[in-house]
Amino acid sequence: MTALRRILTIAPFATLLGCGSSLPLPESVEPPASAFVEVPYPPPAALAETLVSKPDQPDVVWVDGEWLFRGSTYAWQRGGWVLAPKKARYAKSKVVFARDGRVLFAAAGWYAENGEPLERIRPLSPAVTPVNDFTDESQTAR
């Protein structure tokens, strides 16, 4: 096997190994059934966000931005560095397609050990893009 062929064989695997996340992320949990609401359509693709410097505090984790359903449309809420509540877990937003054709959406959120939802936590250091706290889906390129 030539050196070039070996490099071409190994390169894709080396790339995959280098793509792992080194960001401190919150402990995760699935959203409870009570978190799902019926929506007319699933959210758009996630917006790109720019990572900002991590605050020098213990228990700080990165939470990605997400789409929130606002009655008839989705609005983007920036992610960022948040102080993780003690003994809480984070559920990422999730879409479920029911067998009867309905679309169900659960927004991301924090949950206590007993499964009770916690209030939304504002980032200590929010991502720098998009420029607004909330971006309506009509403001995005589709």
The span from the CA of 130 to the CA of 49, in Å, is: 7
| pLDDT for 18 | 46
Q: Which residues on neighbouring strands pair with residue 9, listed in sequence order?
A: none
Average pLDDT, the chain: 83
As a whole number, mean pLDDT of residues 83-99 equals 95
| pLDDT for 50 | 87
Answer whether residue 38 is part of any domain. yes
> Higher model confidence: residue 101 or residue 139?
101
pTM of the entire predicted model: 0.74
Structural domains of the chain, count: 1
Residues 6+ apart with CB under 8 A from 28: 89, 90, 91, 92
Tokens of 125: 């250091």
As a whole number, mean pLDDT of residues 100-120 equals 95
As a whole number, mean pLDDT of residues 24-31 equals 93
Residue 74, domain extent: 22-139
> How many C-beta neighbours within 10 Å does residue 26 have?
19
The span from the CA of 142 to the CA of 120, in Å, is: 28
How sure is the predictor about 11, in pLDDT bands with cuts at 50, 70 and 90?
A: very low
Contact 85, 61 (CB under 8 A): no
Answer whether residue 6 is part of any domain. no
Q: How far apart are the first and last CA of the chain?
A: 46
- Percent of the chain, pLDDT > 90? 57
Answer whether residue 1 is part of any domain. no
